[in-house]
Structure 1
Amino acid sequence: MVSNGRTISKAVSGVEDGPGALLFDMDGLLLDTETVARDSFVEVADAFGLAGAERFFLELIGSSGAQTSARIGAALAPDADLSRFKADWSAGFEARIAAEVPVKPGVRDVLEALSARGYPMVVVTSTDGQKARRQLGRAGLWPHFRDLVGGNDVTAHKPDPAPYYLGAERAGVAATSCFAFEDSDKGVTAAVAAGCRVWQVPDLRPEGQDLPELGQHVAADLGTAMEAAGLL
């Protein structure tokens, strides 16, 4: 049972045999980068005249680069330069994290404790793999992980289970033996479909949007999720 008393229907309770591996989303779960991406997106969207920019961004969370590009392209004016939009968004994001890649509160301590217990851990993110490794490295988190699945490593993206199947494969175990930790609904959908036991730690969400009832646990932060999973 999670400390906030919330467990969505069909969720498993407790840990019997322990996980074969731990699979983690990155943005919004380990790194506090969704807020950075949002601020940069809104700045560029306003310059391009894209209405409702903040809510539009929130609906993109968990999407792959290709999915995001398609959504933005469809929303922009016909004569707008999608490549310029993406370049300006990326430049704004990189400028904001130039001094430091922000890490979610408590994440460093959680990962150090899990590493000390010997759990194999893999990152499963929609972000390009090279970019994700670079950000995790700059944040000092990369040494905790055995491997990483990036958005460029699969042809089907979250909410498809393919990224989680590959993450489990890279950990050397079956997906059904893995515990997965996600912030986005798309990520939860993917992990549940792959057969993982899933804990959702919500980050940025559109106001009034309920969490999907997929069988996941819900926790306020990653440390609470680990305690609920019996890992710490």
Structure 2
Amino acid sequence: MLRKPVEAALFDMDGLLIDTEVIYIEAMQQAARSLGREMPLDFCHSMVGVPGHECNLMIEAYYGDGFSITEFREHFSVHRHRLMDGGIPVKPGVVEFLDFLAGRGLPLAVATSAGRATAEHHLGHAGLLDRFTALATRDDVERAKPHPDVYLEAARRLGVAPERCLAFEDSNIGLEAAHAAGAMAFMVPDLLQPLPETRARSLEIFPDLHAALSLLRQHL
């Protein structure tokens, strides 16, 4: 299943390491209501894995003329911070999974569509930041996912060829990026189920990180 040798592991952040996608969606829906609008769940799901700037363009196009994305982002920020006041939840199995890979001597990196300040804040507050040797963000690359740039940058920062990296994603867009980078790509779906093309690109699709760990114990 795995190409050998495996020399590193790369991770998406939102929806894979930390349970933030549901928080973002709730904050977006509440921000829309603050402006007298409704934001359907299907539309929210269409933005999973999409960088913030592109989400802004999608929202502006969805609501049309007269909609202020600036006001929306202000309300979104207020609601997001309120929802995160109790802490940023770590996805089940993350700590054990990272411990296992680190115990095998693999350097770990994050490859995220979030900006650097957001990534450092979220991972720091979740108690995960120090577990990663490198952090590649939307701020570090020219093109966002589904382009491979952020995965290529994460591998470069580790000094490892991307084809010798495991890559873990929760979204279809992210999996496309990891696969395009040449990494050994795996999906652990969060809010969205894999598309047929995602299944074709994935070495394996796991229901959760516990299942991923069980399989990797047999191969690493």
Contact residue 45 and residue 53 of structure 1 kept, 8 A:
no
Distance 1:178 1:76, change over 3 A: same
State yes or no: 1:109 paired with 2:96.
yes
Q: Distance in 1 between matches of 2:29 and 2:154?
A: 32
Contact residue 97 and residue 210 of structure 2 kept, 8 A:
yes
Which of 180, 194, 199 is the matching residue for 1:213? 199
Contact residue 63 and residue 126 of structure 1 kept, 8 A:
yes
* Alignment-derived partner of residue 109 in structure 2: 122
Q: Distance in 2 between matches of 1:50 and 1:170?
A: 43
Distance 1:48 1:54, change over 3 A: farther
Where relative contact order (Cα < 8 A, 6+ residues apart) is larger, the structure is 1
Shift of 1:53: 2.3
Shift of 1:192: 0.5
TM-score, with structure 2 as normaliser: 0.92
Q: Which has the higher helix share?
A: 2
Letter paired with 2:66: D
* Alignment-derived partner of residue 4 in structure 1: none
* Alignment-derived partner of residue 222 in structure 1: 209
Shift of 1:16: 5.0
Q: Structure 2: give runs of 5+ residues left out of the alignment.
A: none
Q: How does 1:20-99 map to 2 (within 5 A)?
A: 20-99=7-86
Q: Distance in 2 between matches of 1:145 and 1:25?
A: 12
* Alignment-derived partner of residue 3 in structure 1: none
Task: Name the SS of the counterpart of 1:188 in structure 2.
Answer: helix
Which of 133, 148, 171 is the matching residue for 2:135? 148
State yes or no: 1:173 paired with 2:166.
no
How many residue pairs match? The answer is: 217
Residues 183-218 of structure 1: CA deviation (Å, up to 9, x unaligned)? 000000000011111110000128xx7453332010
Q: Structure 1: give runs of 5+ residues left out of the alignment.
A: 1-12
Amino-acid identity (%): 34
Q: Distance in 2 between matches of 1:132 and 1:143?
A: 12
Q: Distance in 2 between matches of 1:36 and 1:51?
A: 17
Task: Name the SS of the counterpart of 2:189 in structure 1.
Answer: coil
Q: Distance in 2 between matches of 1:70 and 1:214?
A: 30
Task: Name the SS of the counterpart of 2:207 in structure 1.
Answer: coil
Which stretch of the first structure deviates more once superposed, 113-122 or 79-88? 113-122
Q: Distance in 2 between matches of 1:110 and 1:220?
A: 14
Distance 1:213 1:109, change over 3 A: closer
Task: Name the SS of the counterpart of 1:60 in structure 2.
Answer: coil
Q: Distance in 2 between matches of 1:51 and 1:87?
A: 16
Contact residue 167 and residue 185 of structure 2 kept, 8 A:
yes
Letter paired with 2:96: D
Shift of 1:114: 2.1
* Alignment-derived partner of residue 187 in structure 1: 174
Shift of 1:231: 5.9
Task: Name the SS of the counterpart of 1:214 in structure 2.
Answer: helix
Q: CA RMSD in A?
A: 1.8
Letter paired with 1:46: R
Shift of 1:93: 1.0
* Alignment-derived partner of residue 19 in structure 1: 6
Q: Distance in 2 between matches of 1:53 and 1:152?
A: 29
